[in-house]
Structure 1
């Protein structure tokens, strides 16, 4: 048991370091997952409204976004069933991301930074820190599950008064977060650095998300072979199936054993997939600072761009399913009060309106990871070497900012292009302009979020990760905001809400101009503040 020596001392140190983050994590999941519970009741107050919402969720496009519903008749599709159908997947993904980042940062990244080697110079077991992270993550997810179930319970919403059902809903989120944390832990042993481990984990998450989009439309039962699908196969508030929870826990503990075996057999800072040998001579692109920044991010850029294009292609391929759905649903045809052809075109444009908001938030995540490198390099004391040359802070700041802006715009273009190419084969294919304009207008929202990050890195560099809280909020609003009617002030906080949905609306130059001007102003304020502040370390 030498490998576990001082595990609880490491756990105490983790809790002392992270208690504030853990509190924010807990509060965020409550705000994110519990806030929409009562909104479905107001959305489905009459039988006619329930039928409309039911038919809406049969749309293959929405099945791809939220997952399938097992309810067969509109009369059985209650507000509780709608909540249980809509929330598990999107909430799980949000907190999977947080869990993956946390686990890798507290394991592999600490090896990269030399902290793990320092701990092991004392009487600390080889697996002590990993075990402490596992215990902390598991305990947090158990706490989140019980508190979230209790918060839903006290709201006393029709159809959500059974505590076991509420606990099942909360547990589906908690076990997914824990399971993917353990997947990240295994990949952290295989890859040679934290960045590669995160990229591999998120790549696997994205691949399984795309796979489940196809299987949910064609054959739901295949989803049982996809761990991500277990988040909503609980069929909460309808059949309450606990089997996915059991499967997730079993897989989690198998992954823990596998991670232990891998870590115990390798050296500190080593990986089972070694880094490739560099070239004997540097390329000419490294002679400039922009070339250096792009070279550092080359792998991530290629992975993100390729993944986003594929995601756009998959989403675009669903457009062909919409016309089939319209023809098979008399209720939806009556709702639109038009011919099936016109109804298909109308629903396609509404689908694009929702889709581009979601995609633009995902693209924003990519652009943020690029811009955040400015602070992460500073934390690793690498910027000091840059500033030892004649390079000015203005150039460093503007280089990272402009690269992030260009990459965000490029990713949005290629994702929109993927949607356009995929829908060309449908019977109601849209023109290039009809697809590209509604997508590219969201570039202004991406720039705005990046400008907020510029401000954080200039004034509060140690807390620049706060931007992810705002992104999580916009992601939630992108998925649920168009379905649940939140107060106007909540929508006003979401910059993506103010971007005109050109698939169904006319252009609002006033909104776009204000967002563009604020973005530029924030970047300039950040530029001068960054020039004057001290470098951060550690």
Structure 2
């Protein structure tokens, strides 16, 4: 037992059932109360995740029917998409030509990946993050079993994934209730696989960010394995595809034969990983980990607040950059096939033009893809800005500010990483797309750079909320998520222009191909600057922690 937390362990032992001979119920004491607390804390986040993901999948049926209204059109598009290795690597092979099968093909993989992201965030939030902030130590001093926090976190993830599965099932039941249930379970069980993955990484690391990063790295590896396997196989039978939990979801083949037995694979993975997580949590003290942080040097080497911010965020930025570069390489290879994908379908062409402008299909497709990269980059910017909030609430900011460091200097270090990091990400995405697309370096990089004003505006919203209303800072995720949802789903649903304009990305010029329009770009830049200035002014006036 680690001596650093002997006092904590001694306090919590009678209640948590750490002595031999105690029944399993003692280890789970207080699970119900912790679950209610977790659901109360996530009463906004979980419903938003579920509704956005569920709506994305369910609404896809209507957009596909609008695009491909006849069986012949659906059969043609299924054949052309299956023959394109780049599209297979992105979405997987098409196993059927019904509307439901095309929905499962177009949205199944992404819904499974996003359900996994939702799940790993929930589990780490209610396990390692609670320990990192010290709240778990207080809870464990009461009648709380050793394994109760982990159980409550997994149950919270189960609630979210079950709700998501039910939304998908109910929304697509009219096209075949059994197949709709198969798709819902495939998405929900993928989320639970990575919930238990996060449960393991939360035991291995001392920090919540590293726990999320490791779980996300496993998810990224699973996606890459599936993409590599599908690129080389048109029937989903590649060994690489079967090694990936994301590949299991697509091989359920909802609306195309419904392979129910494949669902046993994620169930088995959940049971095995869950058992491993429970075993690990019973062998460590609260706050400790199996991969402790390395001790720092005897003398500090960080001379400025900016250097500290860079040290804290460089790992995350590196991971995001690699992801953007790889995604750019994958997407860039799809640009040449954009015209073949659209063919003579005027409705499909209209969707691409609403997303990427009324130019040639390849340019519109390229603009649409880089717009999506910009929307995802805004998630990085918001998360990087809100690192300030995490440093403050965990009381790590107070010792820094107690020295000769002002609040604005401290905040500026993190904001430089956030806003400059967005530049790095979009450059990486543009470079990857150019390398695989093979032409028009200046046009590709210009189309990537024009996304920055909108990214910075959403980053400015995060600065304003953190500086002026820190208790509402988490709402910045909602603003960024809404912009992503509008940009992703809006053009396919042909939403009114007034709705599309709610996203700052809707005001950007559609490069390459369209003319450069400076007024909206300058307005977005000015708005971002004003939001940052207002947020910093609020931070300078308010009290720390209490807001």
Q: Is the 8 A contact 2:29 2:143 kept in 1?
A: yes
Q: Deviations over 1:75-112 (max 9, x none)?
A: xx333332221112222222322221110010111111
**1:248: Cα distance to partner?**
1.3
**1:199: Cα distance to partner?**
0.7
| CA distance in 2: counterparts of 1:351 and 1:247, whole angstroms | 36
Does 2:287 align with 1:269?
A: yes
Q: How does 1:66-145 map to 2 (within 5 A)?
A: 66-71=91-96, 77-145=97-165
Q: Deviations over 1:421-461 (max 9, x none)?
A: 344xxxxx203213211212112221121111112212332
SS at match of 1:221: coil
Q: How does 1:352-391 map to 2 (within 5 A)?
A: 352-391=366-405
Q: 1:27 to 1:459 in 2, by over 3 A?
A: farther
Higher deviation after alignment, 178-187 or 22-31? 22-31
Q: How does 1:223-242 map to 2 (within 5 A)?
A: 223-242=241-260
TM-score (norm 2): 0.84
Aligned to 1:181: 195
Q: How does 1:294-443 map to 2 (within 5 A)?
A: 294-317=310-333, 322=336, 332=343, 348-423=362-437, 429-443=438-452
TM-score (norm 1): 0.85
Higher deviation after alignment, 477-486 or 194-203? 477-486
Q: CA RMSD in A?
A: 3.0
Aligned to 1:256: 274
Does 2:295 align with 1:292?
A: no
- From 204, 207, 230, the counterpart of 1:193: 207
Q: 1:198 to 1:132 in 2, by over 3 A?
A: same
Q: Is the 8 A contact 1:210 1:311 kept in 2?
A: no
Q: 1:14 to 1:434 in 2, by over 3 A?
A: closer
| CA distance in 2: counterparts of 1:331 and 1:177, whole angstroms | 32
Q: Is the 8 A contact 1:95 1:177 kept in 2?
A: yes
| CA distance in 2: counterparts of 1:24 and 1:516, whole angstroms | 29
Q: Deviations over 1:41-64 (max 9, x none)?
A: 222235675467546634444333
| CA distance in 1: counterparts of 2:284 and 2:139, whole angstroms | 17
Q: Is the 8 A contact 2:86 2:333 kept in 1?
A: no
Q: Is the 8 A contact 2:380 2:422 kept in 1?
A: yes
- From 177, 195, 218, the counterpart of 2:232: 218
| CA distance in 2: counterparts of 1:194 and 1:359, whole angstroms | 26
Does 2:124 align with 1:65?
A: no
Higher deviation after alignment, 402-411 or 50-59? 50-59
SS at match of 1:507: coil
**1:370: Cα distance to partner?**
1.7
Aligned to 2:64: 40
Q: Is the 8 A contact 2:100 2:175 kept in 1?
A: no
Q: Is the 8 A contact 1:448 1:515 kept in 2?
A: yes
Q: Deviations over 1:329-362 (max 9, x none)?
A: 799499999xxxxxxx966534422321222233
Q: 1:523 to 1:48 in 2, by over 3 A?
A: farther
Q: 1:331 to 1:175 in 2, by over 3 A?
A: closer
SS at match of 2:474: helix
Q: Deviations over 1:253-305 (max 9, x none)?
A: 1110011111112222222222112112222xx21111111112222223322
| CA distance in 1: counterparts of 2:507 and 2:76, whole angstroms | 26
Q: Deviations over 1:293-327 (max 9, x none)?
A: 111222222332233323323433556xx46x98x
Q: 1:203 to 1:414 in 2, by over 3 A?
A: same
Gaps (5+ residues) in structure 1? 72-76, 154-159, 338-344, 424-428
Count how many residue pairs are aligned between Structure 1 and Structure 2: 508
Aligned to 1:472: 481
Gaps (5+ residues) in structure 2? 1-23, 350-358
Higher deviation after alignment, 347-356 or 450-459? 347-356
